[in-house]
Amino acid sequence: MPVHIRPRSLPQLLAGALLFVGALLFALGAGACAQPGVEKSAAPGEATVTKVTDGDTIRVDIAGRDESVRLIGIDTPETHGQGGLRECYGSEASARTAALLPIGSKVRLVRDAEPRDRYGRLLAYVYRASDDLFVNVTLAREGYAAVLTIPPNVSHSDAFVSAAARARDEHRGLWGRCGGADTPLG
């Protein structure tokens, strides 16, 4: 016996297409924070600080997985860069990040357009869970970091530019001691 397929009306086709696209977007959004082999028990973006590498890079535990996290939008002076590069105010920036995020601190990581940098580090805006302090912008505002905007990760670039400009104008941190960013030591 032949099977007859009843043609769908345009509104039915559109409704079906919208449902499919909605389900696809939901699935992609739900998986944006998910990582292979990681338990789903932690809230999206929730992590615990395990180490401060330098002023703009930390290590975290995300549901049992160790990850390096590069703070988006800022650049702190190097403490151990390529070829042993050390820059003015690098030690102070690392110490400030460690004071803001002591080992064991709970943080919320918020991603932008790109999830990782070319070194495999997670790219994130970091918020201290205890008081929702936006660590990236705090480091810029206090003079421990310059602005580093790398499109397409630009969600908070205006806040970073404003915070760093004020720190520079008030000669805070590296702006007062070093005369600006990227100043080699000795």
Cα separation of 147 and 134, whole Å?
15
* 25 in a structural domain: no
Cα dist. 35→4, 94, 135, 145 in Å?
44, 28, 24, 30
**Residue 70 among the catalytic residues:** yes
* Catalytic residue (one of 87, 96, 111, 121): 121
Task: Count structural domains, the chain.
Answer: 1
* Catalytic residue (one of 67, 70, 92, 141): 70
Per cent of the chain over pLDDT 70 is: 74
* 34 in a structural domain: no
Q: What is the pLDDT of residues 58-71, one digit of tens each?
A: 999 999 999 999 99
Q: What CATH code is carried by the domain that includes residue 118?
A: 2.40.50.90
The ranges of the chain with pLDDT < 70 are 1-44, 81-84, 186
* Catalytic residue (one of 78, 96, 128, 168): 78
pTM of structure:
0.76
**Residue 39 among the catalytic residues:** no
Confidence (pLDDT) at 184: 81
